Amino acid sequence: MTTKKSERGLCELYQDDPAHADWVVFGRVGHRDRRGFLKGAGLATMGTIVGASIPFSRTMPTGLIPEALAQDKKGFVIEGKEGMTVHNDRPINAETPAHLLDPDLTPIKHFFVRNNGLVPDKAAKPDAWEIAIDGEVNTPFKITLADLKKQFTNITIQSQLECAGNGRAGFNPPARGNQWTVGAVGNARWTGVRLADVLKKAGLKSSAVYTGNEGADPHLSRDPKRLSISRGVPIKKALDPDTLIVWEMNGEPLPLIHGGPVRVLAPGWPGSCSQKWLTRIRLRDKEHDGPGMTGVSYRVPAFPVAPSTKVANSDMKVIESMPVKSVITFPRSGTKVSATAPLTVRGHAWAGDRAVREMHVSVDFGATWQKADLKPAANNHAWQRWSAEIRLPQKGYYEVWARATDAQGMSQPVVIPGWNPRGYLNNSCHRISVTAA
């Protein structure tokens, strides 16, 4: 028997099937007698995760989640966050309801969280945090965060950051992974240094074609030899002046849950490219092959496929710039409005490495479209504010649809775009409902 391991929280797993949860979380546990105690590899794994041996393991019931793991999961409360929709507690993954994305700068308390491993311990001395630059460079070196701040020009930009799986809940048949709706995105003000300047100091060899980043987040198994995720980008993206190593978010020290004290920011590309808790940048002479870079991880089919198609790894391509997208942040879906007064609708739009050129809204299910007012971005890679004033012809139920078009003429589709095994890149039109009285 084989079982697929998908990202689900401990509480969810143990609630559904406690005995099976032992298998999923701790691995094949060897044998269990009728009392259900663990043996072998499963017991060793559990001991590693809780941080000590378990003397009375023989009397530990099958399917009992260790209190050391359960105690801070009850209620799915994430410190420093408010109003979030929590999809997972191990690893922590939470999205922002659309109406909380209304500010031009997403408050940290409302910024989505997407982790692949465990959150590391907070750095006792953030400025002493060390990053290694090595691989295909002439002068490998290590640098502390304090020296990074002093030795290179500090840059502050606004940038949206989006999970590649944002919108996954819309795919049918369902795709594995966190069932994000529209809120795995946010726009913040980031401060750091250009990655290009750091790489220039190291001296890129002509053989360097890709970066391979590593972070300090422990693997879910707590095996120190395993990386939770290790993503990278082509050299061209690494040298983009907006690709940064950052230590501030919205004017505050980068919060631990968002990768503090220091992370990569690769704006316009999947958020997974913006490695958290950065410890190493390794220059590669080939496309990076760390965890999260191979198979179907952060990849889509190189050609259209029918839903549920099993796609060979060789036919998958790495996701780079994210597609054009928009979100309606006001009014909140389900709002009751007046049929006699104009209705103000607003939100944000973005398009990966591109700018958004036009924005339209519809209240008749896409039969006709009204052009919205679109503001320019604060800078490259920041999202753009849009707004429209619409009139509803009579009382009744309406849906407001939003559609963005980027600088190259690519528009959001009304229907769900091409299916892929992991449910990435759903950029279909966001829609909300309103009832006119």
CATH 1.20.20.10 for domain 85-318: no
pTM equals 0.85
pLDDT (0 to 100) of residue 1:
35
Burial of 136 by CB count in 10 Å (0-12 exposed, 13-18 middle, 19+ buried)? buried
What pLDDT tens digit does each residue of the chain (437 aa) get?
A: 333 445 555 555 555 566 666 666 665 444 443 344 455 556 666 666 555 556 556 666 665 655 555 444 445 678 899 999 998 888 999 999 999 999 999 999 999 999 999 999 999 999 999 999 999 999 999 999 999 999 999 999 999 999 999 999 999 998 988 999 999 999 999 999 999 999 999 999 999 999 999 999 999 988 999 999 999 999 999 999 999 999 999 999 999 999 999 999 999 999 999 999 999 999 999 999 999 999 999 999 999 999 999 999 999 999 999 999 999 999 999 999 998 899 999 999 999 999 999 999 999 999 999 999 999 999 999 999 999 999 999 999 999 999 999 999 999 999 999 999 999 999 999 999 999 98
- Per-residue pLDDT, 176: 86
Residues in CB range of 81: below 8 A, 6 or more apart: 94, 109, 110, 113, 257
At 93, the amino acid letter reads N
Q: How far apart are CA 431 and CA 360, in angstroms?
A: 12
For 269, counting Cβ atoms within 10 Å of its Cβ (0-12 exposed, 13-18 middle, 19+ buried), the class is: buried
> Hey, what CATH topology would domain 325-436 get?
Immunoglobulin-like (2.60.40)
| Amino acid 33: pLDDT | 39
What integer pLDDT is reported at residue 10 of this predicted model? Answer: 58
Q: Domain boundaries in the chain?
A: 10-70, 85-318, 325-436
The pLDDT assigned to 53 comes to 59
3-state secondary structure at position 273: helix
- What's the pLDDT at 49? 59
Q: Are 263 and 277 in contact (CB under 8 A)?
A: yes
